[in-house]
């Protein structure tokens, strides 16, 4: 099964078919995460979409070839049409997943309703098993307990559950316990070592990035547990794309604007007012999707050149064809750990 | 023959082929060209007769052969729990 899905993913990248679309259903949120890239947790009332407009967007994505939908935000469930959108999306045949803090999943009944309406998978943002640390990051007291309860409700309802943990200087030292717990509970966990800059280029949240010493410790622990995870990708000849931006994935903002990736905050235009192809085949979209390893100075020496992010380069270095200082720093850290553990 | 598509069944088409994710069974199915065509007709709420006619026309075969092939496919979709 994994092989078949991988084949479809590869094909979608090749064909520029947006097999996966992230839908930001709202910027509103019931948490106030210190690290969040959203700068204003409000929707412009003049620009929010009606239910019919969301349905129209889903029809267009379906036509464009999308299979996987990732509902997010903000907190997706705060969109007043959330349930109708989910129901319609299931009717059209999408695979629905959601990234959530779970604060609105307060009982088993709600979790069952999500399952019944076609939510196949939910990823909870969990920052630590230490309640204080989690709540300090989300800036909502009690959020850890509510998220953990929601996670159990969703498992009980039969939804596939996984965990996302952004690593910051405040929680990185506690991630090992979280990983062990996820293994014990048979939950997939994805750790993300990079705090991205905020929308509108806001960089103050970058101060939350883990320090070199913390990241060295993190990668050493990974090397002890899973040495293969630090292996370099096979050397690129330069013609590989640096990421999947504008190819096998796309994103939609709460106002219905089409993006080449959720991290690239350059609107291709309104998907309510335009056809998908008009926007997707535009010059702007091409300029993002065609960036190759050879176009980014120093990228071919990176251990994972196809995971570089041109949006971060643009915000942090003012040029999407430049490696960020943070990329270089991570490369240095991983290189040092590979050397210490004799990983090729 | 009666059927309905299994509830909340994700699927999509690319390059003339259909991929169906049977999440309940944790399985994925890539359909061949004819099966994809029949699946697409099913999702457009076509009747059995309409599907037979479309397949007969598309593949330039006689109506009995088309009927047999379509029956076989629908039986298989049911066995795979893609239809109920
Ligand atoms: C913006 S949230 C929206 C969904 C939901 N409200 C939640 O908390 O999961 C989606 C994911 O982005 C991550 N995230 C937020 N700000 C980030 C940043 N500056 N850099 C990297 N990831 C970030 C969160 O940890 C979360 O897993």
For the cut 90, the answer to whether the pLDDT of residue A23 exceeds it is yes
Q: For A194-246, how does the pLDDT look when each residue is reduced to its tens digit (9 = 90+)? A: 999 998 777 899 999 999 999 999 999 999 999 888 888 878 888 999 899 99
Average pLDDT for chain A: 95
A341 and A221 Cβ atoms separated by less than 8 Å: no
Contacts of A18 in chain B (CB under 8 A): none
Residues 6+ apart with CB under 8 A from A310: A242, A243, A245, A264, A288, A291, A296, A320, A321
Name chain A contacts of B19, Cβ cutoff 8 Å: 4, 8, 67
Residue B1: pLDDT over 80: no
Q: Which two tokens stand for residue A209?
A: 């990035």
Please, which pLDDT band fits residue A178 given cuts at 50, 70 and 90? very high
pLDDT tens string B46-71: 999 999 999 999 999 999 999 999 99
CA atoms of B71 and A323, how far apart (whole Å): 57
Buried b (16+ CB within 10 A) or exposed e, A215-253: bbbbbbebbeeeeeebeeeeebeeebbbbbbbbbbbbbb
According to DSSP, the residues that pair with B79 across neighbouring strands are none
pLDDT band at B29 (very low <50, low <70, confident <90, very high): very high
**Residue A143: CB within 6 Å of ligand 1?**
no
Q: Indicate if the pLDDT at residue A8 is higher than 90.
A: yes
Interface of A with B in 2-61 (CB under 8 A): 4-5, 8, 11-12, 15, 17, 19
Question: What confidence tier does A305 reach under pLDDT thresholds 50, 70, 90?
Answer: confident
Tokens 């702007």 correspond to what residue? A284
pLDDT of residue A202: 79
Q: What angle do CA A119, A122, A126 make, to 5 degrees?
A: 160
Of A62, A90, A160, nearest to B8 by CB-CB distance is: A90
A153-176 CB burial, b ≥16 within 10 A, e <16: bbbebebbbbbbbbbbebbbbbbe
Looking at residue A300, what is its pLDDT? Answer: 84
Higher-pLDDT residue of A232, A149? A149
With a pLDDT cut of 90, the percent of chain A lying above it is 88
pLDDT of residue A67 exceeding 80: yes
User: Could you give phi then psi for residue A70, rounded to 5 degrees?
Assistant: -115, 110
- Looking from the CA of A143 toward its CB, the CA atoms found within 13 Å total 24
DSSP A322: B
**Cα–Cα dist B70/A207, whole Å:** 62
Quick check: B23 and A120 CB within 8 A?
yes
Question: Which pLDDT score is estimated for B25?
Answer: 87
Going from N- to C-terminal start, the domains of chain B cover 11-79
Does any CB of chain B come closer than 8 Å to the CB of residue A193? no
Structure confidence at residue A81 (pLDDT)? 98
Q: Which of A28, A30, A32, A36 to mutate to test the pocket of ligand 1 (most atoms within 8 A of CB)?
A: A36
In short, whether A123's Cβ falls inside 6 Å of ligand 1 is no
């Amino acid at each position: 099964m994994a092989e078949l899905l991988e084949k479809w993913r590869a094909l979608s990248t090749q064909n520029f078919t947006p097999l996966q679309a992230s839908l930001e259903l709202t910027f509103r949120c019931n948490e106030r995460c210190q690290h969040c890239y959203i700068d204003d947790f409000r929707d412009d009332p003049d620009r929010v979409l009606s239910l019919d407009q969301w349905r129209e967007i889903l029809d267009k994505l379906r036509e464009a070839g999308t299979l996987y939908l990732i509902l997010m935000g903000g907190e997706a469930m705060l969109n007043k049409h959330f349930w109708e959108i989910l129901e319609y999306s299931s009717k059209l045949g999408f695979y629905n997943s959601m990234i959530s803090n779970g604060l609105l999943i307060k009982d088993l009944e709600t979790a069952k309703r999500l399952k019944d309406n076609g939510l196949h998978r939910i990823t909870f943002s969990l920052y630590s098993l230490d309640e204080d640390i989690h709540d300090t990051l989300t800036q909502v007291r009690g959020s850890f307990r509510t998220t953990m309860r929601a996670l159990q409700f969703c498992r009980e309802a039969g939804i596939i559950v996984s965990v996302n943990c952004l690593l910051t200087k405040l929680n990185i030292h506690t991630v090992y316990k979280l990983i062990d717990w996820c293994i014990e509970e048979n939950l997939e966990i994805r750790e993300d070592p990079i705090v991205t800059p905020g929308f509108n280029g806001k960089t103050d949240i970058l101060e939350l990035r883990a320090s070199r010493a913390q990241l060295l410790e993190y990668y050493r622990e990974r090397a002890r547990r899973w040495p293969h995870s630090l292996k370099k990708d096979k050397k690129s000849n330069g013609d590989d794309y640096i990421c999947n931006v504008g190819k096998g994935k796309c994103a939609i903002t709460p106002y219905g604007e089409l993006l080449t990736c959720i991290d690239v905050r350059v609107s291709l235009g309104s998907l309510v007012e335009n056809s998908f192809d008009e926007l997707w085949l535009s010059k702007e979209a091409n300029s993002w999707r065609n960036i190759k390893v050879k176009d980014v100075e120093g990228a071919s020496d990176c251990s994972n050149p196809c995971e570089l992010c041109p949006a971060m380069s643009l915000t942090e270095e003012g040029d999407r064809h430049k490696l960020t200082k943070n990329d270089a720093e991570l490369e240095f850290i991983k290189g040092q750990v590979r050397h210490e553990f004799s990983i090729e | 023959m009666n059927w309905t598509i299994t509830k909340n069944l994700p699927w999509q088409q690319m390059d003339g082929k259909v991929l169906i994710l049977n999440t309940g069974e944790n399985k994925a199915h890539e359909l061949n060209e004819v099966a994809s065509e029949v699946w697409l007709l099913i999702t457009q709420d076509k009747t059995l007769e309409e599907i037979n006619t479309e397949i007969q026309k598309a593949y330039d075969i006689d109506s009995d052969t088309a009927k047999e092939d379509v029956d076989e496919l629908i039986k298989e979709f049911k066995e795979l729990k893609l239809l109920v």
